[in-house]
Structures are given as C-alpha cells and as structure tokens.
Amino acid sequence: MTNQDDTNNLIEQAILDPILLQKLSDKVFELLLEDLRNQRSRTGNFWR
C-alpha cells in the first residue's frame, strides 16, 4: 500500500463519517487561522 492509498482511505473514511469530517474541518480551519496570525505578525502593520 502506498502513501497515496493511505491518504485516499483516510479521505474516504472522513467523507463517510460526519463526526470525523467535522473534526477534520475544524482542524483545517484552526491551522488556517494560525497561519494567518503568523503572516500578520511577520508583516506587522503592513496590511492594516
């Protein structure tokens, strides 16, 4: 089994399980917010 196969299996599980899909969505959102905060801290007041 390849890494791609493992990834595909995890995606299929997440799509079929609403609770797992919500947890995954929440984690992705959390990581995006963290990334935005990090970008703002690096740029300072440039974008404000």
Domain boundaries, the chain: 3-43
Per-residue pLDDT at 40:
87
Residue 45's pLDDT is what? 62
CA angle centred on 30, ends 39 and 48, rounded to 5°? 30
From the centroid of its chain, how far is CA 31?
A: 6
What pLDDT is stored for residue 42 in this prediction? 82
How many other β-carbons are positioned within 10 Å of the β-carbon of residue 15?
Answer: 11
Mean pLDDT by 10 residues, the chain (48 residues): 89 92 95 93 68
* pTM of the predicted protein model: 0.67
